[in-house]
Amino acid sequence: MNLPMRPAFVALGANLADPVIQVRAALEALAELSGSRLLRASSLYRSAPVGIRGQPDFINAVAAVETSCGPQEFLAALFDVEARFGRRRDFHHAPRTLDLDLLLFDDLVIDSTRLTLPHPRMHLRAFVIVPLLEIAPQCQIPGRGQAEAWLPAVSMQPIARLVGQPA
């Protein structure tokens, strides 16, 4: 039986252990997830860490994926990928080898202890909105409207597309 494929968007970020290589390898890992297919990936971007000073900059990207998994199952698969990359959760905003955030899953709105969709801060982060709009310029954030409408809210956050680093 073929399960229907549903669209999802995933934010990728890393600031440890050669983050460019980490994000590229994570995109390959997303492409290999069972029941899923990587559709598009943004360019790579450099951004300053949020929350704690003195960390290395992050390398970020956003990926568009199609999956036959449900949202909870897909989130679990993302956590498995993070674990394979050595992700640790020592403290909030800790440096990381890989961070995968499920931003959007179809047009679902979920508010549970394990999963909140859309991601509750995605519209407030340049490192999410800018790469998201690169691959999905018409993207709608359920309950928040056009993703593009949030560009002014993040315009003061430094972010730079890496030249010569296609995703």
Return the active site residues. Answer: 87, 96, 99, 101
Residue among 90, 114, 87 nearest 100 (CA) = 87
CA distances from 140 to 73, 78, 133, 162 (A): 23, 22, 10, 26
Distance, in Å, from the CA atom of 130 to the CA atom of 136, rounded to the nearest integer, reads: 10
User: At what angle are helices 71-84 and 19-31 packed, to 10 degrees?
Assistant: 140
Cβ–Cβ < 8 Å for 22, 98: yes
Buried b vs exposed e over 93-125: b needs ≥16 C-beta within 10 Å? ebbbbbbbbbbbbeeeeeeeeebebbbeebbeb
Residue among 138, 68, 79 nearest 105 (CA) = 68
